[in-house]
A and B are shown apart, each in its own frame.
Chain A
């Protein structure tokens, strides 16, 4: 184990230990937000792989999460399996869908790929998740209800054992994030980045474009689906609303806003996406200088849109990327890293 890998494992463990303790003292609403934050962070992490590493655009990541959620919900509600099996099934189905979505991506790139994935997100949102023809998959208008579920033989459900679900989610997230950070310099990661920089050059160097693009889409969908498959456990039921088109668009917007090339930005974005709307609706009403005001969820989405525009004009590398380069710059200016000290006689 190289020292770099050890450092990263240590970082993941410390992050897990810190984040695991944070929601303990809060009420059930914030505990739910914490679990939701990890679910959304999985969705953003899937974009770090797909867009940040491989350079492919996708506007249907919430669809992958939704397919994972519905698969897991269906498994638990109708077959009453252990939740671990349901999660595995959700990830497998999301992976398969990701590979299918990746097929048109073999011929498309850039905006045309964005159009196609937008269409896919819309078809799943308006048709598959809502139409009567797919009730066997979506559980009808009420969706699947997950009252009691067990994982590794432990009880986990939304009402009383939310923290257990949160811990499992968080541990999985830290693991996947660690794997993604390590993927960056691995052989597959180098091939991915070669595809991002130039598909033509990558193909010339012997990278199998078909295999690696499909793999990227499948892996990305599997990551989003892994988060999504925990949604029924955390929320107690599945409905189309959390996985509709606008969540997909928010994923894309927040991933770019936070810095689509950086793994920690996904965690930051997940927390942003789960906590800010809830805090706004909880505390965002009252009176100010005699005028009653109320801040609703819509303000969050307005803020995301406006921040995205400002960020793309001013900070192209995202919030995390900008912070990172500022810290690097300050440190090298202080002579701590990289700043070669030249001896002057």
Chain B
């Protein structure tokens, strides 16, 4: 029972990360029509910026929280810049092309980012994870005797807060309304004076930020290197598909469900590859059960 509860905590933390990553995918897909296969790679690159600041450049006499803060800040600034750069340098020029072409372009982005990171930070090397909260902060739930790390709580809280924050931003602010208008129909939105280009740039920036946050948060849970973070994309896509690539609340729910589904089998099956099979089965189930034509409504 205690083991089951402990796995639930791990599953929920993983799920929080998946839903964060998926939120970025859904955001970018809805407003720009780009299904971003490079989402994991973008998060990976920003995470390595954080890693570099945290382990490479911070001074040993600084307090730990300062190093963490600076590392995350640097990663987020970099992520925002990368998102804007990709929008202005690449995706602005292909806005009117079919969704498939845009998706293939993101594969180019993925390959370039992954090998650039592997060039700088070496692919097969062990990298120490980045903890947002100190590892020693662990609470034990009195009834079930389950230890809960502060990191797990931070992940779940950040995921939920960002999901609700994004939802509120889209619903209650005028820029959020502009984004929703663009996601419904870019042509009519531009006729009503919505700055479609600006909306695209902001979505890329926000999506990239969320990807960076998700990738930084996941580092304590996986053996973190350039490929494993890039491959986070499949779990994020699975969660995003549960939300139909449209709905933010369903995406978050999907992320948590996927996290639990991927964690519980590891009680019995010791395999690094098995969770990927779970993700594939979830993707297939969602795509076969729901009418895939429904997705083309959101595709522009």
User: Taking beta carbons and an 8 Å cutoff, which residues of A are in contact with B?
Assistant: 57, 59, 104, 107-112, 114-116, 118-120, 122-123, 126-128, 130-133, 245-246, 249-250, 252-253, 256, 296-302, 304-309, 312-313, 316
Q: How far is the CA of A97 from the CA of B279 in the complex (A)?
A: 19
Is B287 a contact of A107 with CB atoms below 8 Å?
A: yes
Determine which of B105, B119, B241, B274 lies in contact with A312 in the assembled complex, contact meaning CB atoms within 8 Å: B105
Query: Is there an interface contact between B280 and A119, defined as CB atoms closer than 8 Å?
Result: yes
Question: Other CB < 8 Å A-B pairs besides A122-B280, A126-B272, A127-B273, 17 of them?
Answer: A108-B292, A110-B98, A111-B295, A112-B295, A122-B279, A123-B277, A246-B111, A246-B114, A298-B119, A301-B114, A302-B116, A304-B108, A304-B112, A309-B105, A313-B93, A313-B94, A316-B101
Nearest CB of B to A277, in Å: 11
Selected from B108, B233, B280, the residue in CB contact (under 8 A) with A120 is B280
The reply on B8 being an interface residue by CB < 8 A is no
Q: Whole-angstrom distance from the CB of B81 to the nearest CB of chain A?
A: 18
Inside 8 A of A126's CB, which chain B residues have their CB? 231, 272-273, 276
- Whether A110 and B99, one on each chain, are in contact in the complex, defined by CB atoms closer than 8 angstroms, is yes
Contact of A299 among B115, B276, B283 (CB under 8 A): B115
CA distance A112 to B288 in the complex (A): 10
B109 lies within 8 A of chain A by Cβ = yes
- Taking a contact as CB atoms under 8 Å apart, the answer to whether A312 and B288 are in contact is no
Contact A302 B283 (CB under 8 A): no
In the bound complex, residues from chain A placing their C-beta under 8 Å from that of B260 are none
Q: Determine if B279 and A119 form an interchain contact, defined as CB atoms under 8 angstroms apart.
A: yes
User: Is the CB–CB distance between B100 and A305 below 8 Å?
Assistant: no
A305 with B112: CB separation less than 8 A? yes
Closest to A130 in B: B273
Interface residues of B, Cβ cutoff 8 Å to A? 35, 37, 90, 93-94, 97-101, 103-105, 107-116, 118-119, 227, 231, 233-234, 237-238, 241, 271-274, 276-277, 279-280, 283-284, 287-288, 292, 295-296, 299
Residues of B within 8 A of A133 (CB): 271
Bound Cα distance from A249 to B37, whole angstroms:
11
Question: What is the number of contacts between chain A and chain B, taking CB atoms within 8 Å?
Answer: 147
Closest Cβ neighbor of A313 among chain B residues:
B93
Q: Is the CB of A122 within 8 A of B231?
A: yes
- Asked whether B105 lies within 8 Å of A308 as measured between CB atoms, the reply is yes
Query: Contact between B107 and A253 (Cβ–Cβ < 8 Å)?
Result: yes
User: CA of A252 to CA of B111 in the docked complex: distance in angstroms?
Assistant: 11
Q: Are B283 and A306 in contact (CB under 8 A)?
A: no
- Distance in angstroms between the alpha carbons of A119 and B37 in the assembled complex: 12
B231 and A128 contact, CB distance less than 8 A: no
Contact A296 B104 (CB under 8 A): no
> Which residues of the other chain, A, contact B103 by a CB distance below 8 angstroms?
111, 114
* Residues of chain B within 8 A of A302, CB atoms compared: 111-112, 115-116, 119
Q: Which of B35, B93, B98, B231 contacts A245 (CB 8 A)?
A: B231
Q: From residue B290, how far is it (CB to closest CB) to chain A in Å?
A: 10
Distance in Å from the Cβ of A303 to the closest Cβ of chain B?
8
Give Cα A119 to B288, complex, Å: 15
Q: A253-B107, A301-B111, A305-B108 are in contact. Are A111 and B119 (CB under 8 A)?
A: no
Partner of A119, one of B99, B108, B283: B283
Across the interface, A249 reaches (CB within 8 A) one of B107, B284, B287, namely B107
For the complex formed, measure the closest distance between the CB of B14 and the CB atoms of chain A, giving whole angstroms.
Answer: 16
A122–B271 Cα distance when bound, in Å, is 14
- Expressed in whole angstroms, the minimum distance between the Cβ of B12 and any Cβ of chain A is 23
**Structural contact, B111 and A250, CB atoms closer than 8 A:** yes
Q: Smallest Cβ distance from B200 to chain A, in angstroms? A: 16
A57 to B105, CA, bound (A): 14
Knowing A108-B292, A111-B99, A309-B105, the reply to whether A116 touches B276 (Cβ < 8 A) is no
Given contacts A112-B287, A118-B37, A299-B119, contact A306 B112 (CB under 8 A): yes
Partner of A115, one of B93, B105, B283: B283
**Shortest distance from the beta carbon of A294 to any chain B beta carbon, whole Å:** 10
By the criterion CB–CB under 8 Å, are A305 and B90 in contact? Answer: no
Q: When chains A and B are docked, how far (Å) is the Cα of A110 from the Cα of B103?
A: 9
Residues of B within 8 A of A108 (CB): 287, 292
B279 touches A298 (CB 8 A): no
Query: Residues of A contacting B111 with CB < 8 Å?
Result: 246, 249-250, 253, 301-302, 304-305, 308
Structural contact, B287 and A104, CB atoms closer than 8 A = yes
Chain B residues near A307 (CB-CB < 8 A):
108
Q: What's the Cα separation between A109 and B90 when bound, in Å?
A: 24
Residues of A within 8 A of B37 (CB): 114, 118
